[in-house]
């Protein structure tokens, strides 16, 4: 007889391998509140534990200045707010690019160093246009491109934002996107333009794998999804594989530091991990700039 899947008591559709250390009820990442040992559910933190919930529910509720996610972020009423904002920004920039035409795209896309006939000058990151590393993350042209990326961001981003918290999620997203831009700048042809949120999305995929491993979830679905996306990356023409790989590596490293940081040194480990990833991004940009201008 197969074991029955254990699901979160507040979200019955979500399987989980984590239980509240007070009342012993199963909880999903959105319901996890970091405690001195393990995680607590929202009812235990607020003192609203129902009778008979578990033997460990006896006694006063744990003292907590503020509910926290499993990564130490603040529990919020809308766990998808940053995801919604990111989707809105991407769509707004896409609409602006549609109305403004190629001029806006040429000003915001990622290019190392190339001659722009419209501007009648040499442009690119190597020419001091550092903003291209960030603006290209939010820039799309084709409908299918932005549709696929925004659907992926919505499906993957929400659970990650709930598990990490808003600040950590936006840091993860931006470092993943910048990691993809930096590797693309380092390895791609200097006059090859690239754009899109794919690098950031791959970073979120890597972070999802780290989170699922941390929660002892079945890894096969996310591994299959990663393998399929990597297959498309290296077999379809016109895809900047450097951005995908760079985003994946950056997102995986950042997420690992966030969810595996020991509670007593959480801030130090998380900030240190993000700083190291940012340092790697700066190093790649610096090396490539010297190559193109030296």
Q: In this structure, are residues 199 and 243 in contact, taking their beta carbons and an 8 Å threshold?
A: yes
Cα–Cα dist 250/266, whole Å: 19
Cα–Cα dist 249/231, whole Å: 16
Long-range contacts of 259-262 (CB under 8 A, 24+ apart): 259/70, 259/71, 259/163, 259/164, 259/210, 259/211, 259/214, 260/214, 261/71, 261/72
Indicate which residues carry an active-site annotation: 198, 244
Cα–Cα dist 280/184, whole Å: 13
Nearest to 70 by CA among 162, 5, 153, 188: 162
DSSP bridge pairs for 115: 122
Cα–Cα dist 280/272, whole Å: 12
């Amino acid at each position: 007889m197969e074991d029955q899947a254990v699901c979160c008591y507040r979200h019955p559709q979500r399987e989980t391998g984590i239980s509240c250390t007070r009342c012993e009820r199963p909880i999903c990442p959105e319901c996890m509140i970091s405690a001195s040992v393990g995680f607590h559910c929202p009812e235990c933190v607020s003192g609203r534990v129902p009778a008979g919930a578990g033997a460990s529910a006896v006694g006063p509720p744990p003292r907590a200045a503020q509910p926290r996610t499993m990564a130490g972020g603040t529990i919020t009423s809308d766990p998808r707010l940053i995801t919604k904002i990111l989707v809105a920004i991407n769509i707004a920039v896409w609409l602006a690019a549609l109305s403004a035409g190629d001029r806006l795209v040429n000003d915001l896309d990622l290019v190392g160093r190339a001659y722009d006939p419209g501007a009648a000058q040499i442009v690119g990151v190597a020419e001091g246009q550092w903003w291209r590393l960030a603006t290209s993350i939010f820039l799309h042209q084709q409908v299918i491109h932005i549709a696929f990326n925004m659907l992926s961001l919505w499906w993957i981003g929400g659970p990650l934002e709930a598990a990490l918290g808003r600040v950590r999620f936006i840091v993860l997203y931006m470092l993943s996107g910048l990691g993809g831009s930096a590797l693309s700048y380092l390895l791609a042809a200097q006059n090859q333009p690239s754009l899109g949120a794919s690098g950031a999305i791959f970073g979120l995929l890597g972070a999802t794998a780290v989170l699922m491993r941390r929660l002892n979830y079945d890894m096969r679905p996310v591994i299959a999804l990663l393998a399929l996306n990597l297959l498309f990356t290296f077999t379809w023409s016109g895809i900047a594989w450097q951005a995908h790989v760079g985003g994946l590596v950056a997102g995986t490293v950042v997420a690992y530091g966030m969810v595996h940081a020991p509670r007593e040194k959480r801030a130090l480990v998380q900030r240190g991990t993000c700083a190291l990833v940012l340092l790697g991004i700066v190093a790649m940009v610096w090396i490539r700039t010297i190559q193109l201008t030296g």
